[in-house]
Amino acid sequence: MTLKTRDSNMELLRITAMVLVLVVHANFRALPIPGPSQIVMAPVSSLLMFLTEGISICAVDLFVLLSGWYGIRFKGSRLAELLFQVLFFGVFALGVSAVFWPHELQNDVVGRLFMLNPGNYWFIKTYVGLSLLSPVLNAFVEHATRRQFAVVLITFYAFQFIFGWYFDATTWFRGGYSLPSFIGLYLLARFMRLYPLRVWRLSRWADLAIYLSIVATLTIVMFLIKRAGGRGDYVYFYNCPLVMLAAMHLLLFFSKLSFKSRLVNWVASSMLAVYLVQSSTFLWNRHDDLVRYWFNNEPRFEFIIYTAGLLAVVLVVSVSVDKLRLALWQGVLCVVDIITEKINIKNGKQD
């Protein structure tokens, strides 16, 4: 029933966002950002890499905006299922690594399984923090006036612009990899949904044109900065204003579509599994090493074909395994229900 009632247009956006996550990880996570010498030697290839990053860098913001668009309704059962999914795919990735690359298994397996190290699934840990705070954020959204809501958003993004993005003045707020940045995106999407301003009520094609214009701007700006020898990484930060605007208008584009598809909803329900597989600390080095090998040893066309095939395999395998995980979770719930029922019966007899 859940699959039938979900908005397939927004579920398609969820799939799109995850595909963009796959792409962004295969680009400047696996490959070095082109510098001045590489740009001079291979300007077209470098420009295409910047274009790829410009298209895909808004993916993380999209996921958080999607949560804010509908609002998170925090429940202990949902948190338990999320943690079960993370552990399930941690064990899955550990098993794959143990079979194919046992010599690469390092110490601290327990820490990596339970996300106890700084680099382990940063998005999951930040999203869990957002979920835990969602009742407070929802209460603010419900009781704040439109003006109060707008003032909070404006002051927050002014603070983030100064200290968390342009001047790089903090470590805990840097780049959008933080809980405060997720809170800001969540509230922004709630405001967009509740108070649709005129600028957000353009045609869907206008939204798409704005997104593509921002992509072109990011591409050209980064190309020129790196050609001149500049740092430029802040252009691709998740809290870069242009990156957030791109995510907002791509969200608005999909929100103005309307269709129902059980297949789209079925696939979209397992999108988090794709991230858990590709970004597992047990597997991501192998993934990135393979992409780098193809990039350094194959012609560009073959590199694109091989990498696209790899990403497709990751997507299909992750979704397929997640359906097994869903069945297993239902079994866990049945066992819990049986145990709970027996405890209730026992307590009833004792009373």
Q: Which domain holds residue 163?
A: 2-350
Q: Total structural domains in the chain? A: 1
* Tens-digit pLDDT profile for residues 55-113: 999 999 999 999 999 999 999 999 999 999 999 999 999 999 999 988 767 677 888 88
pLDDT digits (tens, 9 = 90+) for 193-209: 999 999 999 999 999 99
Q: Is it the case that residue 169 has pLDDT exceeding 90? A: no
**What is the average pLDDT score of the chain?**
93
Q: Model's pTM, two decimal places?
A: 0.93
Q: Which of 93-107, 167-181, 223-237 has the highest mean pLDDT?
A: 223-237
Spatial distance between the Cα atoms of 20 and 243, rounded to a whole number of angstroms: 13
**Predicted local distance difference test score (pLDDT) of residue 2:** 40
Per cent of the chain over pLDDT 90 is: 82
**Least confidently predicted of 106-110, 124-128, 158-162:** 106-110
